[in-house]
Amino acid sequence: MLGRYDANLGISASGAPVWPRGLVGTITHSRKMALAAGASARDYENIGIDTEIVGHIEDGILDLLFSKREIEFVESLPYPEQEKVKTALFCSKEAFFKAKTAMQKSFNSPNEIEIDVDISTKTFRSRVGDCTDDIGLYYFHGLHCVAFYLCKTQIHI
């Protein structure tokens, strides 16, 4: 694992991965695939990844996941783009939560994290609520890719 032959990935009581000392990492999975990413803790505080199938974000839960501004943005787009952007927004939030919650145990509600997605540059920027995040970081930048039926995101802190 990352050049260390003695490294084992553990599992916490909550089911979260426990990375070996000196490493940070993240996992995403579905019924048909699993992905993991790791890095040296000297280089990054933490990392997060997520992957989702485009079109699996139901309209009935948008107000639980997205801010009013994000919902208005999605609804302003033509239909085919709506599905891609909804998935990219959700995926970006998941990657953010994975990176952030590994550093601290407090949670923000998904609709308190605002994401600006730029499909053309394949980037996103997340902002934590009203900028009262207790780890002192308010803006996070990441990358996303929507290809075929999958959306993949990554973020590092």
Q: One digit per residue, pLDDT tens: the chain, 157 residues? A: 566 666 678 888 888 888 888 889 999 987 788 888 888 899 988 888 999 888 888 888 888 889 898 999 999 999 888 998 899 888 888 888 888 776 565 556 777 778 888 878 888 887 776 544 444 555 677 877 877 677 877 877 7
37 in any annotated domain? no
14 in any annotated domain? no
How far apart are the C-alpha atoms of 4 and 62, rounded to whole Å? 42
72 in any annotated domain? yes
60 in any annotated domain? yes
Q: Which tokens belong to 6?
A: 């003695």
- The verdict on pTM exceeding 0.85 is no
3 in any annotated domain? no
6 in any annotated domain? no
68 in any annotated domain? yes
CATH number of the domain residue 116 falls in? 3.90.470.20
Give the number of domains in the chain. Answer: 1
Q: For residue 126, which of 117, 115, 137, 138 has the smallest C-alpha distance?
A: 115
